[in-house]
Structure 1
Amino acid sequence: MKFRGKTPKEPLTRKQKLRRELLRILVISAAALLSAFNLNSFVDTADLFPGGFSGAALLIIRLTDKYLGLKLAYSAVFLPLNVFPIYLGLRYLGKKFTFYSMYFTILSSVLTDAIPAIPITYDVLLICIFGGLINGMIIVLCLWMDASGGGTDFISIVLLERKGINAWNYILAGNVVILCLAGIFFGWDKALYSIIFQFVTTQVIQNLFKRYNQLTLIVITDMPESVYDKISILTHHDATLFRGEGFFKETTKHMIYSVIGADQAPMLIREIHEVDPHAFINVLKTERLAGHFYSRPRE
């Protein structure tokens, strides 16, 4: 049995590329505007400290205002903090990915300084929940458009893609330091409410962005060549073929085993059922993966 394996995809036309880039710019611009609104109307209203470099920037701004009487612009603090992450992005993640991430970082910083605060509510718990939801959606929008929100997003993606290291524990440790300093200087109620804000943000990201999650795919089929072609062409992942015998009808069965990205599963299952409507598909959550796993290259 010979499997065809991967076949090259048709290259995008110039018009399709232009539309894709225009969409990226529009979505990232909307995310930057939403980020500025969220920081001014929710985060600043409740004196919260979001995670990552944004929280660090707000901590520095509020400390200098409280103890030195200097009101620093958000962009004057946030942009310098992103110099090293941008360097990592240029070196490890690709120029286009870094460019769009820089675009978001600069635009959101400038808009944060330019847009006046419009408080929606003064209820801190509501601000934590809805501000966290908005913050999570902002990050997801950037990730969907193959960009990042800067700061710790750069660092976590570099460690995950290049070193296979889940940076969550390191980012969490950095957030703990920020929250402890915030609690000491501005009161522990602000720090504790900020934990709710960060928790909501994390839940939104984990539920809506699954590129870095893996699933184990087990397919029992009578059309292994066609099923493998779908897996190989659509996901660029390989598969292993097992041959066995079904107990009930005592007929020869083919079982295909593969590991794919969680974001690829719905499309792939649909395509497999198109070529083999009787295929039995079992999808399992993959907790840990050791070995080569194809990651879509960044531009």
Structure 2
Amino acid sequence: MENLKLIKPKHLIGVAVGALFSAIAIKSFVQPANLVPAGVGGVSIILIEEFKIASGITIPYGFMFLGINIILLLFVYKKLGKKFLALSFLHVFLTSFFVEALPQFHITQDPILMAVFGGVLNGIGSSFALRMSGSAGGTDFIAIYFSMVKNKPMWDRIMYFNVALLVYYGWRFQWEFALYSILYQVVSTKVIETYHNRYKLSSLRIITGHPEDVSNAVFQVTRHGITKLDGIGVFKHQYKAMLYMVVNEFELKSIVDSIKAADPKAFIEISSVERIEGNYRQKPLE
């Protein structure tokens, strides 16, 4: 329960705002345009349509979406951080609530514009949840579970799952809606990739005359390894060391601040990392 104490008012507000954006995307863009979101949102819509055909009864989207997420939550709750799960479930619950509570309004009838702007709003909503140390739930639970606990990347399989959803929806109902849904999913994913930096990597090269002090300061805020190379500054012929490390992008600010506190004259070069192989410690979700 200690991790739940780390939840602050800003986390709750951020998740609530994100849920509102996600709900507006569903209520005013996805549903009117008959789009299929990625993951559990898409599964919910397909199950609702199939149940309506079979029984003539329409299950509210919010109830279906919440129910599937609860099942997934029960699968992963023992292995993932309690703060992460609590904030993720709050986002899911509020999204379900807002979808049922908010009135539906139409800004445009153009399906392309609805797919684009719906994707933008959903991407913003999911980004809020991720920035607040939560997630949008659904297949995020499964992907993060296997990535963090089983050390098996699942994001490519989630993509295949979403493709299968679109193919099924197109075959079962109408291909036109499935094709517009591709645009919705691509836009939403691009927005999330732009604003979510947990899995983006950066390398740091730090030139300092106080490598031990800088290293100790960095280890106070992260547990990533550091490689030290000794050298001489050519201009003043003074001892210098280069410290090299790879970190997650979201850790950069705290690491750079710790370096500057230990050595205000340190020279820091930061570069994006496309890919790494070998042992790398991913900071666990709280």
Of 232, 248, 263, the residue aligned with 2:250 is 263
CA distance in structure 2 between the aligned counterparts of 1:219 and 1:50, rounded to whole angstroms: 44
**Cα distance in structure 2, aligned partners of 1:163 and 1:247:** 48
Tell me, yes or no, if structure 1 residue 29 matches structure 2 residue 24. no
Seen in structure 2, the aligned counterparts of structure 1 residues 294 and 111 have a Cα distance that, compared at 3 Å, is closer
1:101 is aligned to: 88
- C-alpha displacement at 1:246, in angstroms? 4.8
The one-letter code of the counterpart of 1:283 is S
Q: Structure 1's 249 and 158: CA in aligned 2 closer, same or farther, altered over 3 A? A: same
Determine if contact 2:20/2:125 at 8 Å carries over to the other structure.
no
**1:72-87 matches, cutoff 5 A:** 72-87=59-74
Counterpart selection for 2:172 from 185, 189, 195: 185
Which of 286, 291, 296 is equivalent to 2:279?
291
Structure 2 CA distance for aligned equivalents of residues 208 and 256 of structure 1: 28
Q: How do residues 36-47 of structure 1 correspond to structure 2 at under 5 angstroms?
A: 36-47=23-34
Give me the whole-angstrom Cα distance separating, in 2, the residues matched to 1:100 and 1:196.
Answer: 28
- 2:226 corresponds in structure 1 to 239
| 1:58 maps onto 2:33 in alignment | no
Task: Report the CA distance shift for 1:282/1:81 in structure 2 as closer, same or farther (over 3 A).
Answer: closer
Q: How does 1:137-176 map to 2 (within 5 A)?
A: 137-176=124-163
Residue 286 of structure 1: how far off its partner (Å) = 4.5
Aligned residue number for residue 281 of structure 1: 269
Paired amino acid for 2:279:
G
The answer on 1:201 being equivalent to 2:174 is no
Q: Report how far residue 42 of structure 1 moved.
A: 0.8
d(CA) in 2 for partners of 1:88, 1:146: 20
Take 1:196 and 1:158, find their aligned partners in 2: how far apart are those partners?
27
Structure 1 residues 134 and 242, CA gap change in structure 2 (3 angstroms): same
Count of matched residue pairs: 282
Instruction: Describe the SS at the equivalent of 1:229.
Output: helix
Measured in 2, the distance between the counterparts of 1:297 and 1:249 equals 45
Query: Which shifted more, 270-279 or 130-139?
Result: 270-279
Q: Give the CA deviation at 1:94.
A: 2.6
With over 3 angstroms needed to count, the CA separation of the structure-2 counterparts of 1:297 and 1:45, relative to structure 1, is closer
Contact 1:231 1:238 (8 Å CA) reproduced: no
Q: Secondary structure at the match of 1:217?
A: strand
- What are the Cα deviations for residues 87-110 of structure 1, in whole angstroms up to 9, with x where unaligned? 233111133322222222222213
Alignment check: 8 A CA contact 1:214 1:262 kept: yes
SS in 2 for 1:242: strand
* 1:142–1:269 Cα change, 3 Å: same
- Contact 2:206–2:266 (CA<8 Å) still a contact in 1? no
Q: Which residue of 1 aligns with 2:112?
A: 125
Secondary structure of 2:33 counterpart = coil
Q: Which letter maps to 1:277?
A: K
Separation in 2 of the partners of 1:282 and 1:80? 44
How much does 1:186 deviate? 2.4
Distance in 2 (CA, whole Å) between partners of 1:168 and 1:296 is 17
Q: Distance in 1 between matches of 2:274 and 2:21?
A: 34
Gaps of 5+ in 1: 1-16
Which residue identity is paired with 1:295? K
Q: Which runs of 5+ in 2 are unaligned?
A: none
Q: Does the 8 Å CA contact 1:179/1:191 hold for their aligned counterparts? A: yes
Contact 1:101–1:150 (Cα < 8 Å) also in 2: yes
Contact 1:230 1:272 in 2 (8 A): yes
Give the 3 Å change call, closer, same or farther, for CA 291–278 of structure 1 in structure 2. closer
In structure 2, the residue corresponding to 1:283 is in which secondary structure?
A: strand
- Any idea what SS the aligned residue of 1:160 has? helix
Q: Which moved more, 1:245-254 or 1:153-162?
A: 245-254
Residue 199 of structure 1, CA deviation: 0.8
The correspondence for 1:213, drawn from 163, 177, 200, is 200
Mapped to 2, the partners of 1:129 and 1:267 lie a distance apart of 35
Corresponding residue for 1:6?
Answer: none
Aligned amino acid, residue 108 of structure 1: T
* Compared CA separation, residues 110 and 127, structure 1 to 2 (3 A): same
Structure 1 residue 248: Cα displacement: 6.1
